[in-house]
Structure formats: structure tokens, C-alpha cells
Amino acid sequence: MNIVERFIEYIRVEKRYSPRTSALYESALGDFYAFQFPDREISGIAQQELLDALSTTAIRGFIAQGLEGGISPRTMNLKLSALSSFCTYLVSSSLLDSNPAKRVFRPKEGSRLPVFYTEGALEKYLAETPPDDAPFHKIRNRMMILVMYGTGMRRSEIVNLMEKNFDQGRKVFHIVGKGDKMREIPVPISICEEILLYLKRIKIEFPEGVDGKFFVTDKGKAVYPGFVDKVVKEELSGLEGFSGRKSPHVLRHSIATHLMNHGADLNSIKEMLGHSSLAATQVYTHTSFEQLKNTFLTAHPRAKKRR
């Protein structure tokens, strides 16, 4: 098994990346080495040659060739992320001294409006509260959706969330986000009440404890990124108002959009989401079509005359 195969096995088994993500990473590394060794198969290349090929210059050339060939900046950024993860793995394995991909500038992507779910669709879903005697997985799945939508947490933050991160007295979550930055997210009283009931259910379901984890699998083990993705997809698939992609990130987009539509200021949303700058938050300054329609019909002079 060569170093590429070992890395793919590592992210698939130990990191528990989804099959799709693992396949994307494997494809990206295959493309890079095909660029470096156009007439050779990876399986026939010695390990040292594979390592020597990982230079900042080579990676820059790979990204440039892809862009010149018409591949989108977003796709090339995904390939660069795969290369960077691979290099980080090699550094941790003492096979590289440093990560050369970190010195490669990412191609600028065109701005895209975020996808989001409607308030009505989410309210309808959350209004259906499972009974107290419902199976644990039903209560946990709904709680996971509620926390993601209610707080705007990232998937990684949901995976690492601990019971101690919930401050019942102050009604906030203490979160360690990207770059180990601490932030507090206020929690509405109604959600706090549901959280307390959920935490009591965990203690009943797993009397031996779950090591302080907030979200656990059906067997009381720690959840992982693919598990969270699966919960969102299973919970929202087939429901009215949830067309298109179903992912934790769309729930994050949704709460940011809804807060903006209800008049929340940009700085407050920035702090809640844990963005490092306002630039990342400004994408939510768009409005939903329904809000635009209502504003238009209310303000249009002809609409006023008709009334």
C-alpha cells in the first residue's frame, strides 16, 4: 500500500470521511500525480518520488494548469484542500517537514448567494415534537437540527459539542470554533427547555455516561461528520420546502438569512457565526424572494393606489 492509499484509508476509517469525500480526495491526488508523472501509474512510483513531487512550485503549476484548462476556481480549491490535507498527514507521519500547499494562494471564486430553507418549512418541521417515549434517535435527530438552526453552529462544532458547553444559567453555548476562537451563542428560552429535556433523556438512555458528549450515536458513541450529514439528509428528505441540497451548512445559511430578514445587524450575525471578518457575513445581506415581494408590493406606488 503506497502513501496515497494509506492516506485515503486514514481519512475513510479513522477520520470517518464520507465515501463521496474520500473519493474526491483520491481523485484530486490522482490528478496531481498524473500532472507530475503523465506517463506513469501511481502504483509504479517510488515513495520518495511521490514525496519529492510535493513542492509549492509543483502544486502552483497544477492549480494553474487546471484553471487554464477551464476548470472552475471552486473545483481547483477543492483539489488544493485535498492536497493540503494529504501534506498535513505526511507531516504528522514525519514524511514531510512542512506543508507546501499552505504557501499556494487559493484561486478567487465568484460570489454565490447561499442556499437556504424557508422559515415556514423549518418551523413546520420543528413544530412536530416527538413524544417523551419516542425512540432516542428520533429525539436526538430533531435536537441536532434544532441546535444547528437555532445557533448556526458549524458541523465540526456540532461534532465536538460537549454538555459542559451549554450554560443553563446564562442560556448560552460556549463554542470553540475555527482557529480555536471562543465565542458565546445565546439560546432562546424555548430551546433551552428542550435541551434540558434532551440531556435528561441521554442520562436515562445511557446510565453509564457518554463522556460528556452532547450528541452521541444510537450506541452512545461520539458522532462524526458523516453521521451529522446523514441525520440532516434523513430528517429533511421528502419534506415540503426542503428541495435541493440538505446539509448542516444550509441550516447555518438559513438562520443567518432569517436573522438578516428580521432586522438583525451584520455584526451580531458575524459574532454568532464565528466569522473572522464582515466580508464572510455580507453574503447574507441578500433577501429572500418572499421578503422582496412583500416589500415591493407594499412600497410600489401603483399598489398603494389600487388599495
Considering 15, 60, 174, 249, which one is annotated as catalytic?
249
284 counts as catalytic? yes
178 counts as catalytic? yes
154 counts as catalytic? yes
Q: Alpha carbon 67 to chain centroid distance? A: 25
CA distance 168 to 163: 10
CA distance 156 to 228: 9
Considering 154, 213, 253, 270, which one is annotated as catalytic?
154
Considering 178, 181, 300, 304, which one is annotated as catalytic?
178
Q: Determine contact, residues 139/200, Cβ cutoff 8 Å.
A: no
The angle at the Cα of 32, spanning 108 to 79, to the nearest 5 degrees, equals: 35
Residue 216 bridge partners (DSSP): 222
6: cell is 494509506
Strands 182-186 and 166-167: unpaired
Nearest residue to 199 (alpha-carbon basis) of 180, 233, 173: 173
Considering 213, 258, 270, 275, which one is annotated as catalytic?
275
20 counts as catalytic? no
262 counts as catalytic? no
Considering 140, 142, 252, 253, which one is annotated as catalytic?
252
14: cell is 479513522
Residues belonging to the active site: 154, 178, 249, 252, 275, 284
